[in-house]
Amino acid sequence: MNSRPLNLSKLKGKVIAIDGPAGAGKSTTAKALAERLGYIYLDTGAMYRALTWFALQNGIPPFDETSLTQVARKVPLEFKPTDGVNRVFFNGIDVTEAIRTPEVTRDVSEVAAHPGVREAMVARQREISRKGSIVAEGRDTTTVVFPNADFKIYLDATVRERAQRRLLELTRKGFTTTLEEQEADIRRRDKYDSNRAHSPLKQAKDAFVVDTTNLSIDEQVDRILTLILKSLKTS
């Protein structure tokens, strides 16, 4: 990794929360940042995706809040770092790849919008964070899940750039789609996530904003760390 020589000792035990719209680079950047710091990487979006995958496998409609909330409260969910991959297990099944399909992506926003589902998932996320030294990412991580996080980061990028990233990701996995389809899906998800009644996507007032449109992952991580360390010097 092409990292810069930064003194990271002051960050030990901190909670860093990252959010932003779909395709802004949250997952990849949060994972890289966690690796740089030796932190736990908490992928909150993967938790909702895992629940959505379970619902699809078991015939639970994305609008069935009661059933989805019951599953979210009871079914075991674990993260297990393995060979550099943050593997996701839901009810003992490795769903790391299965939760990234277009079918899951199509329904996850609706599943994640249910108040009961979010309440159950947020409780799990906060339990994981109690020991500190974590990088958490999601679409309401800085405003709802961890409003008292030590540092808040809001990643953003143009719709075209986010669609191109999603197109590349899906093409690599063998899915057939177009840039136009992905742009339309990104706009749909932005509108849905920003206007939902419970835990909508929004930028926290005290978050550092990083536009990732023209930045590599290493550059994003460096930018975040520079902003954080600069804030420590001036606080």
**Would residue 227 count as lying in a domain?**
no
Instruction: For residue 22, tell me if it sits in a domain.
Output: yes
Binned at pLDDT 50, 70 and 90, residue 208 comes out as: very high
DSSP the chain: --------GGGTT-EEEEE-STTSSHHHHHHHHHHHHT-EEEEHHHHHHHHHHHHHHTT--TT-HHHHHHHHHHS-EEEEEETTEEEEEETTEE-TTGGGSHHHHHHHHHHHT-HHHHHHHHHHHHHHHTT--EEEEESSIIIII-TT-SEEEEEE--HHHHHHHHHHHHHHTT----HHHHHHHHHHHHHHHHH-SSS-----TTPEEEE-TT--HHHHHHHHHHHHHHHHHH-
Domain of 143 in residue numbering reads as 13-219
**Domains held by the chain: number:** 1
Write the CATH number for 122: 3.40.50.300
**Is the pLDDT score of 235 beyond 70?**
no
Please report whether residue 34 resides in a domain. yes
Q: What is the pLDDT of residues 1-59, one digit of tens each?
A: 444 455 677 788 899 999 999 889 888 899 999 988 888 888 888 999 999 999 999 99
157 part of a folded domain: yes
The pTM assigned to this predicted structure is: 0.77
